[in-house]
Amino acid sequence: MKLIIAGATSLLGTEIVRQSLHIREITQVVALARQTVHLDESIDSSKVRTFVIDDYGQYPDDVKAEFAGADACIWTVALTPLQADFDFTEVKRVCQDCTKLGFEAMYEAGPARPFRFIYLSAEGTPRDPTNDPVILPDFFIMRRNTELMVQRFPTEKEGVEVCIARPGVIANSTTWSRTLVVNLFRIINRFGRTLPNIQRSELAAAVLNQVMDGFEKETLLNADLVRLGRRELKLRSTPRL
């Protein structure tokens, strides 16, 4: 399978790239990033081709050519209002416009049929258009509209399958403060997952499983992703006969 990973240096994208190196079924990885992608040197990473692009809204011809024949894309690109100093125009451009432009560039290049596109959103993004969010309404309405836009891709383009993944907080141990949060979640989760969260490794495994095996449903909630991710990691750790 040929997989495109958009946002290969994101918190999640880094882990997806790392795990894809260990999956035999994935034979080619097109990793899109704005900066150098650091690959695990202890393992053969020859199946990964990294393309450093200036922006997720523009794709030079040589990059577009790489999209041809792709079986799937995992789209992790996003920007929060805080990261953009509350420049909402930029937040919308990165979160919504680039998703559309990226998808269109991939489709124009002639991907495989079906072409599976999984879009990372977030648990809690309001779906009900009659019930606008109170906190950061512009941002959450834009994220909702982006989900709706992605859901329309299969009606606009033949041979496309889409899925919206809605994780809660992505727990990871990349820094000491994040390790602290992970441990806090571990304790909270013992009493029930009241604050939706997921281990980064589980989320990466879940989305990789879904692009390989097909989408279980159009929207995957945090609980679905935890279940799928755990199952996938367990399967991978079981020795093959």
Ligand X SMILES: NC(=O)c1ccc[n+]([C@@H]2O[C@H](COP(=O)([O-])OP(=O)(O)OC[C@H]3O[C@@H](n4cnc5c(N)ncnc54)[C@H](OP(=O)(O)O)[C@@H]3O)[C@@H](O)[C@H]2O)c1
Contacts with ligand X, residue ranges (CB under 6 A): 7, 9-13, 33-35, 55-56, 76-79, 94, 120, 122, 167, 169-170
- DSSP per residue over 129-176, as a string? TTS--SSSHHHHHHHHHHHHHHHHHHHHSTTEEEEEEE--EEE--SSH
In angstroms, give the least distance from the CB of 193 to ligand X. Answer: 14
- The Cβ-side half-sphere exposure at 20, using a 13 Å CA radius, reads 33
Residues 235, 237, 238, 241, Cα dihedral to 10°: 110
Type of residue numbered 117: F
Nearer to ligand X, 112 or 136 (CB): 136
Judged by CB, which is closer to ligand X: 158, or 218?
218
CB of 120 to ligand X, least distance (A): 4
Neighbours of 72 (CB within 10 A): 26
Residues 64 and 104 sit within 8 Å (Cβ to Cβ): no
The distance of closest approach from Cβ of residue 167 to ligand X in the complex, given in angstroms and rounded to an integer, is 5
9 vs 50 by CB, closer to ligand X: 9
- Residue 167 or 229 with smaller CB distance to ligand X: 167
Q: Which residues of 118-146 are buried (b: 16+ CB within 10 A; e: fewer)?
A: bbbbbbebeeeeeeebeebeebbebbbeb
d(CA 211, CA 213): 6
Q: Which is nearer to ligand X, 10 or 45 (CB)?
A: 10
Going by their DSSP bridges, the two strands 28-33 and 160-166 should be labelled as: unpaired
Q: Determine how many CB atoms are found less than 10 A away from the CB of residue 108.
A: 13
Q: Smallest distance, Å, CB 198 to ligand X? A: 8
Q: Cβ distance 69 to 2 under 8 Å?
A: yes
* Cβ proximity to ligand X, 45 vs 172, nearer residue: 172
Q: Give the span between the Cα atoms of 105 and 108, in whole angstroms.
A: 5
Nearest approach in angstroms of CB 10 to ligand X is: 3
| Nearest distance, CB of residue 190 and ligand X, angstroms | 20
Q: How far is the CB of 75 from ligand X (least distance, A)?
A: 8
Instruction: Select 52 or 112, whichever has its Cβ closest to ligand X.
Output: 52
